[in-house]
Amino acid sequence: MVNGNAVFLVMLVAGYFAALAYFDKYHCKKASISNDEYLASLAMVRKCSVYDLFRCSGGDWKFSNSKIETDFKAYLKTGHIPQYVADYAKQNIRPEDVQSLRLVSRLW
């Protein structure tokens, strides 16, 4: 024999999680993507560090190693991402990849 209250409770919980997933996905599509998310997502996709991305983006512009080091140290202290690094990250990853990684990271 199946208890009607237990079935109702299970259905209610399943409906709650389905609604939560739907609204989270809807909100994720509308939310703007920050430079931090582009940078972190590209590092995750390439399986490298953010420092490696600074080096790659600086190399594209033929910046000196000292400029790249200075910019990276400033990033660690203040969180400010230089425009050349942000542009590099945006050009090398699709927004869909960032959004899917954002959804996965919320599940953790």
| pLDDT tens string 25-75 | 666 555 677 899 889 989 988 999 999 999 999 999 999 999 999 999 999
Looking at the fold, whether 17 and 60 belong to one and the same domain comes out as no
Q: Does 98 lie in the same domain as 81? A: yes
Q: Are residues 94 and 41 in the same domain?
A: yes
Is there a single domain that holds both residue 11 and residue 55? no
pLDDT at 15 over 70: yes
Q: How far apart are CA 64 and CA 50, in angstroms?
A: 18
Per the structure, the count of domains in the chain is 2
pLDDT of residue 58: 95
> Which range of residues forms the domain containing residue 63?
33-107
Q: How confident is the model at residue 24 (pLDDT cuts 50, 70, 90)?
A: low
pTM for this prediction:
0.68
Given a cut of 50, whether residue 108 has pLDDT beyond it is no
- Pair (71, 53) in one structural domain: yes
Residue that the structure tokens 């080096």 belong to: 55
Whole-number pLDDT of residue 18: 83
- Give me the chain's average pLDDT, please: 86
Give the pLDDT confidence score for residue 26 in this predicted structure. Answer: 66
Question: For 1-13, what is the mean pLDDT?
Answer: 81
- Residue whose C-alpha is closest to residue 85's, from 64, 49, 60, 65: 60
Q: Are residues 23 and 40 in the same domain?
A: no
